[in-house]
């Protein structure tokens, strides 16, 4: 019997693929105000600003230099080769995990390559620029499409499935996340209260919640994640 594994990832895992984190020096929140671009109120106030922000980030995914790194690839290999269940829960809205081959994956903060219609609720594949003049292909209403991302004050996606998996896992890994944003930041407390899972943080530096984990492994994700995946597959964790 192999314990189910739940893995939470954040912006740090995609840093070495060329995508900015939010709260590191020079990160996204040092360039734009989160109240302006990552809240429903900001979108109501200035939809063009918000569309421009996400259009630029969507465009950056097409840069040939932006591709999965060794950490994304190691997690895809873990899902393929581990004899038990592996669920990957990412806060990232980029598509690097799926490009690396991960399939059992939840994007709890949404996906950059999707749009959502506020008129009919459709979620649409939308790899190009999105704007106020676009119409929903399902209900034909114009100007009600928004990026399919979770802003502050909104409820992250698939929470029931995530908590079910947390409640049944034997190992929880938290990779490349600052632990500053809830509910993801609270997963480790949730697990420690239940007491059944080993919890490990893999990050560049200890995060805000580092002391809540049983173990911490620190260094660039492209190095520490493949090494740790090898120890799991060798049955040493």
Q: Could you list the active site residues? A: 109
For helices 221-233 and 70-81, the axis angle rounded to 10 degrees is 20
Residue number, 84 or 218, with CB nearest to ligand BJW: 218
Q: Identify whether the C-beta of residue 42 lies closer than 8 Å to the C-beta of residue 50.
A: yes
Choose among 218, 90, 102, 64: nearest CA to 149: 90
**CB-nearer residue toward ligand BJW: 170 or 190:** 190
Is the peptide bond between 183 and the residue preceding it cis, with omega within 30 degrees of 0? yes
H helix intervals, the chain: 12-15, 34-37, 40-45, 47-60, 70-81, 96-100, 159-168, 187-194, 221-233
Binding residues (CB under 6 A) for ligand BJW: these are 10-12, 15-16, 21-24, 27, 38, 91, 93, 109, 149-156, 159, 176-178, 180-183, 203-205, 207, 220-221
How near is the Cβ of 17 to ligand BJW at its closest, in Å?
A: 9
Q: Rank residues 22 and 171 by Cβ distance to ligand BJW and give the closer one.
A: 22
**CB-nearest residue to ligand BJW:** 12
Closer to ligand BJW at the Cβ: 11 or 173?
11
Tell me the C-alpha distance between 126 and 51, whole Å.
13
Burial 68-93 (b: 16+ CB within 10 A, else e): bbbbbbbbbbbbeebeeebbbbbbbb
């Amino acid at each position: 019997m192999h314990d189910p594994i739940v893995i939470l990832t954040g912006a740090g895992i995609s840093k070495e693929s060329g995508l900015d984190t939010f709260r590191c020096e020079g990160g996204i929140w040092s360039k734009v105000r989160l109240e302006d671009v990552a809240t429903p109120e900001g979108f109501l106030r200035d939809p063009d600003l918000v569309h421009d922000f996400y259009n630029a980030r969507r465009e950056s995914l097409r840069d040939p230099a932006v591709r999965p790194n060794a950490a994304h690839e190691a997690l895809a290999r873990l899902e393929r080769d581990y004899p038990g269940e592996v669920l990957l829960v990412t806060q990232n809205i980029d598509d690097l995990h799926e490009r690396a081959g991960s399939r059992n994956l939840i994007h709890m903060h949404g996906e950059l390559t999707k749009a959502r219609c506020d008129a009919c609720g459709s979620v649409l594949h939308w790899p190009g620029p999105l704007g106020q003049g676009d119409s929903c292909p399902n209900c034909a209403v114009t100007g009600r499409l928004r990026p399919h991302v979770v802003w502050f004050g909104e409820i992250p996606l698939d929470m029931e499935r995530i908590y079910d998996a947390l409640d049944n896992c034997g190992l929880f890994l938290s990779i490349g996340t600052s632990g500053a944003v809830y509910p993801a930041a609270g997963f480790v407390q949730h697990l420690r209260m239940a007491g059944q899972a080993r919890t490990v943080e893999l990050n560049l530096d200890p995060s805000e919640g580092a002391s809540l984990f049983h173990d911490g492994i620190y260094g660039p994700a492209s190095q520490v994640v493949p090494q740790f995946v090898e120890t799991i597959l060798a049955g040493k964790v």
